[in-house]
A = this chain, B = another copy of it.
Amino acid sequence: MTKKKQSRGEAPARLETQLCFAIYGAAHALTRTYKPLLEPLGLTYPQYLVMLVLWEEDDQSVRAIGDRLGLDSGTLSPLLKRLEQGGLVSRKRDSQDERLVRISLTQKGQDLASQAIDVTRAIAEATQCSLEEMEGLRDRVRALTGRLQEQQPT
């Protein structure tokens, strides 16, 4: 027998034991849950997130939206074009600083907010979490994300 590197139990961890895989699976399960709820609004989940940002504060730059969501222009530029095509937002260069593209809600985009409330409620129901459970889990997940981001090059 030639020697093997994974003698003495030295093998990669089993899939099911890994927190990372659990989060990966949860993220997929969430977008699958959102999909039928967002379909009537004509939105994907990332598009819905952009709309949430704009409903909170209208007329933001691409960069500001990206900072909020952790997405870059490579993702947002085409996504915002699709929202514009759908008539939900408008994109205009800032007159002060021509580098900026300001994203604003159209009337149609503003009106969509009322329907989004039902989505929030439906999701909360689907998770079947108590408020305390939801907040506890959320804060722990956010803490983990924070620790991971600290160690990133930038």
Judge whether A76 is part of the interface by a CB distance below 8 angstroms: no
Judge whether A19 is part of the interface by a CB distance below 8 angstroms: yes
Tell me the number of copies of this protein. Answer: 2
Judge whether A119 is part of the interface by a CB distance below 8 angstroms: yes
Residues of B contacting A13 in the complex (Cβ-Cβ under 8 angstroms):
52, 120
For the residues of A in contact with B, the DSSP-based class is helix
- The 25 listed contacts between A and B (C-beta, < 8 Å) are A6-B113, A6-B114, A12-B52, A12-B120, A17-B138, A19-B129, A19-B138, A20-B30, A21-B49, A22-B137, A23-B26, A25-B70, A25-B142, A26-B27, A26-B148, A27-B27, A29-B144, A32-B152, A33-B152, A126-B147, A126-B148, A127-B144, A137-B140, A137-B141, A140-B140
